[in-house]
Amino acid sequence: MRVYNSQFDNSWYNPGRSFPIRILWHFVNAIFMQSALIPSSAIKVCLLKLFGAKIGKNVNLKPSINIKYPWNLTIGDYSWLGEYAWLDSISQIKIGNNVCISQGVYICTGNHDWNNPSFDLVVKPVVIEDGAWLGAHSVILPGVTIASHAVVTAGSVMSVSAESFMVYAGNPAVKVKERIIK
């Protein structure tokens, strides 16, 4: 069997908002979120909420972040998104309280079925629970849950869910030790 991209059909996928709203968000995202010239978290939080995101109190959003669809995003209280974090939210991304998402983290909610000749779209939510820390340039793949207070070290790729209070490293990431908070 071979892959035939000409047979690709994701017409079943509903992005959750009309085309004009998605276009408007594209420009707002480029101007206010992805820009390093807008350092204010308050402005970004306001815009995200305006487009349907659920954002808790005292959320810190650094410059140059990228959010695909804010209406698929929930962020709890006191959580941080570092510079160049990319939340590819074609499905739900739920981020708990006191979560640290470091610089350059990529959270992916969509992929393709490489076993299917038409390379069908696969969409799965991602959950990052309270107190978790995603190290710089780590990648979280569709369907993964990072449990409470788990750590994903810098550059790691999470293709499976993480257990609470455990540290994961590598590509693919594996459990390396327990996280002990003193």
pLDDT of residue 147: 98
In this structure, what are the phi and psi dihedrals at residue 133, rounded to the nearest 5 degrees? Answer: -130, 120
pLDDT of residue 112: 92
Report percent pLDDT > 90 for the chain. 88
pLDDT in tens, 116-170: 888 899 999 999 999 999 999 999 999 999 999 999 999 999 999 999 999 999 9
Question: Using 50, 70 and 90 to split pLDDT, how confident is the model at 3?
Answer: confident
pLDDT of residue 95: 98
CB 88 within 8 A of CB 110: yes
Domains (range + CATH), the chain: 17-178 (2.160.10.10)
* Mean pLDDT across 44-64: 98
* Mean pLDDT across 29-43: 95
